[in-house]
Structure 1
Amino acid sequence: MTETFKAFRVNHDEDAFSADFTELTLDDLSEGDVTIRVHYSSINYKDVLATKSNNKIIRNYPIVPGIDLAGVVMASDHPSFKEGDKVIATGYDLGVNHDGGFSEVARVKGDWLVHLPEDLTLEEAMIIGTAGFTAAISIQLLEDNKMTSTNGPVLVRGATGGVGVMSVMMLNAIGYKVIASSGQTEHHEQLKALGARTVIPRIDEVTDKALASTEWQAAIDPVGGETLTEVLKRIQRHGAVAVSGHLSGAEFTSTVYPFILRGIRLLGADSVAFPMQRRQHLWRRLSKDLKPEKLHDIKTVIPFSELKTYLAKAEKHDFLGRIVVDLRPEA
């Protein structure tokens, strides 16, 4: 393929780190058996980190970041996909060790792809994106642990972030009483409008007690850090916490008491290598019962040319919702 296309590429050599737009050809991209005309990607916090020097996200340079994409197959040597198929890619090595979604054309392994469900558009797939898929994994893991809408409220931490706000909306869509936790008081009313029954301040203190009065049947936690300890103390007997991030830190300290006296489970939500059969099932759910009614209310759609501006906005965590990047040439 000699056609050139626009891409956002990061590079790091002995002299300098760079992150900027460039023109590429297919020969410049990572190997793969499916070539995709990318219509949409999204900005995730992992993408923000990937565009910073001395990051611990990118393994090999140069690389096109962007950990998710949605588009249309241009060519395929994979038996499950053909030209014209609409597809979604999230996770695996995409945008980390394999050229990702911040490119008008992508080439990926067909084993990483999911067919776009009938009841989703390509844009909606990226409003959901990696953040929404992680939220869906968290909900599924908790439901596998017998979480039900009749057993009490569910806590969502970091509720203004991508995983948090998608969790609030999805849980509300399937009938749960959602307690949203956020330190951004200016967004509390918006969280209520999106489905939170109650909004509480950020949990930022850890008490000395080994256990506390129970408040929630389960929790979705993309925040992590030492305050995860406090959440575990307040989960109802035989409940669980699904952890997917470490915004407040990668370490926490806990006694064994929540686990041995209340049977609490700590579940890891891994969106990178989630098994393909379960991945396909969750994307079907995301087009059906987990699809929020107000999905489009949280989107900010930007042209590809404004990517750098919005990466900077995402780094500040000063907004609620999802940033969708429109990579179509006419955008």
Structure 2
Amino acid sequence: MSPIRAYRIHNDERGYRAAIESLSSNELTAGDTRIAVDFSSVNYKDALAGTGRGKILRQYPLNGGIDCAGHIIESATPQFKPGDTVLVTGSGLSETVDGGYSSQVRIDHHQVIRIPEAWGPREAMILGTAGFTAGLALLRMQENRQHPDMGPIAITGATGGVGMLAIALFHRAGYRVHAVSGKQEHAELLRQIGAEVVLTRESVLTDKSMDKARFGGALDNVGGQTLAALLAQTAPYGNVASCGLVSGQDLAATVMPFIIRGVSLLGIASAGTERDLRERVWQLLARYFDAEYLRSLPVRETGLEGLPEVFSQMLSGRSFGRVVVRICGKD
């Protein structure tokens, strides 16, 4: 059997480091299902884990990559058979078990989702955790009575993976989208994806605990002062979905938007989502995104060798859109 090629992260007496290594199958963390990985993706969390800039891994060493898509090699459950195309996002990958930057993954079958028929593994990873996060936000907001008639949806961090995919998703779901970005050079591309308006970061900030209601709701990737400002400017009974903290984890806000306008703050925690909800989110994403559309989005591709540079670009704010990682996949 060929050795497993993986981007492996260590933290020991030699320090924090990551590199491509060859492993045997018995070196992988345990799981009742084995997947041959075709593609993975790069998320902000992956960049933090791969560089040690964030405390993501809970044990060492582990293979990086919180996403993977490929096909079943073997499974202890009749639910899956060899050759089935599947994906895994979050679910402990690159936290407690070996992740998707590897030619094989072993994981419990409860974490494995069939790839919708309209897509292949590459299309699934164009979405990955970023798309899943956007889909989970839309689903939770709609369950809490968010409706297009309430006003535009503000989406911050618009040029990142979650932001870009959220713009496309909310637009295709019938919402007006106001993208918020510090990279105005990408404004035209954001409009092509579905943004009605592209706002600067500064233009949405306010020092008022409640300000004029500009937005029907929001999906925030930034946190901190931006999240507080969005709460202050959301229309009655609108929802603000929080899924990131690029600018900080503190929230200096008041209860006024909650008790005067009935605004809801929804936490979007994608990694540990229950299986039934995961399946609903992927069904929602398949409803709005076909393979041709996904391939038309701003996506670039790298191999395992290119990960350090991608991480550097992402953490320095120089990245745009999505990056898929070709492991063993073919077009």
Taking structure 2 as the reference length, the TM-score comes to 0.95
- Aligned-residue offset at 1:292: 8.5
CA shift for structure 1 position 54: 6.2
Question: RMSD of the TM alignment (CA)?
Answer: 1.7
Task: State whether structure 2 residue 231 is matched by structure 1 residue 210.
Answer: no
Unaligned runs of 5+ in 2: none
2:253 is aligned with 1:247: no
Superimposed CA distance per residue, residues 78-100 of structure 1 (whole angstroms, 9 cap, x where no aligned partner) = 23211111101001211111100
Please say if 1:315 is aligned against 2:327: no
Deviation at 1:71? 0.5
Structure 1 residues 66 and 156: CA distance shift in structure 2, 3 A: same
Partner of 2:138: 139
**Superposition deviation, residue 205 in structure 1:** 7.3
Q: Distance in 2 between matches of 1:261 and 1:151?
A: 16
Deviations 1:147-189 (A, max 9, x none): 1223321110110111111100001112211000001111111
Q: Quote the Cα distance in structure 1 between the aligned partners of 2:95 and 2:209.
A: 39
Once the two structures are superposed, the pairs formed by residues 1-331 of structure 1 within 5 Å of their partners are: 2-53=1-52, 55-203=54-202, 206-290=205-289, 294-296=293-295, 297-328=297-328
* Structure 1 residues 54 and 159: alpha-carbon distance in aligned structure 2, compared to 1, 3 A threshold: closer
Mapped contact 1:180–1:196 kept (Cα < 8 A): yes
In the TM superposition, residue 240 of structure 1 has moved relative to its aligned partner by 1.0
Q: TM-score, normalised by structure 1?
A: 0.95
- 1:25 partner letter: S
Give the 3 Å change call, closer, same or farther, for CA 134–329 of structure 1 in structure 2.
closer
Look up the equivalent residue of 1:253 and give its one-letter code: A
Letter aligned with residue 171 of structure 1: F
| CA–CA separation in structure 1 for the residues paired with 2:52 and 2:243 | 24
In structure 2, relative to structure 1, the CA distance for the partners of 1:93 and 1:179 (3 Å cut) is same
Work out the CA distance in 2 between the residues paired with 1:158 and 1:121: 27
Contact 2:35 2:70 in 1 (8 A): yes
Task: Check 1:329–1:266 CA distance in 2 against 1; reply closer, same or farther (3 A cut).
Answer: closer
User: Are the counterparts in 1 of residues 20 and 304 from structure 2 also a CA contact under 8 Å?
Assistant: no
Structure 2 contact 301–325 (Cα < 8 Å) conserved: yes
Does the CA contact (< 8 Å) of 1:145 and 1:240 recur in 2? yes
- SS for the counterpart of 2:225 is coil
Q: Structure 1 or 2: larger helix share?
A: 2
> Are the aligned partners of 1:285 and 1:291 in contact in 2 as well (CA < 8 Å)?
no
Distance in 1, matches of 2:205 and 2:172, equals 32
**Cα offsets for 1:62-91 (capped at 9, x unmatched):** 000100000000111123211111101001
- 1:158–1:182: 8 Å Cα contact kept in structure 2? yes
Q: Distance in 1 between matches of 2:266 and 2:209?
A: 20
User: d(CA) in 2 for partners of 1:262 and 1:301?
Assistant: 44
Give the whole-Å Cα distance in 1 for the aligned partners of 2:207 and 2:175.
Answer: 31
* CA deviation profile, 1:175-206 (whole Å, cap 9, x unmatched): 21100000111111110111100000014775
8 Å Cα contact 1:170/1:291 also seen in 2: no
Counterpart secondary structure, 1:328: coil
Provide the C-alpha distance between the structure 1 equivalents of 2:138 and 2:270, rounded to a whole number of angstroms.
12
Aligned length: 330
Residues 205/283 of structure 1: CA separation in 2 closer, same or farther (3 Å cut):
closer
- What is the identity percentage for the equivalent residue pairs of Structure 1 and Structure 2? 36
Cα shift at 1:307: 2.4
Residues 204, 227 of structure 1: 8 Å contact kept: no
SS at match of 2:68: strand
Q: Alpha-carbon deviation of 1:219?
A: 0.2
Alpha-carbon distance between aligned partners in 1 of 2:48 and 2:319, rounded to the nearest angstrom: 17
Find the aligned partners of 2:184 and 2:53 in 1 and give their Cα distance: 33
Instruction: State the Cα deviation string for residues 271-310 of structure 1 (Å, max 9, x = none).
Output: 0111211211111121122559742221102233322332
SS in 2 for 1:23: strand
Once the two structures are TM-superposed, the CA of residue 11 in structure 1 deviates from its matched residue by 0.5
| Distance in 1, Cα, partners of 2:291 & 2:161 | 14
Separation of aligned partners in 2, 1:124 and 1:54 = 29
What SS does the corresponding residue of 1:226 show, helix, strand or coil? helix
* Closer, same or farther: CA 290–220 of 1 in aligned 2, 3 Å: farther
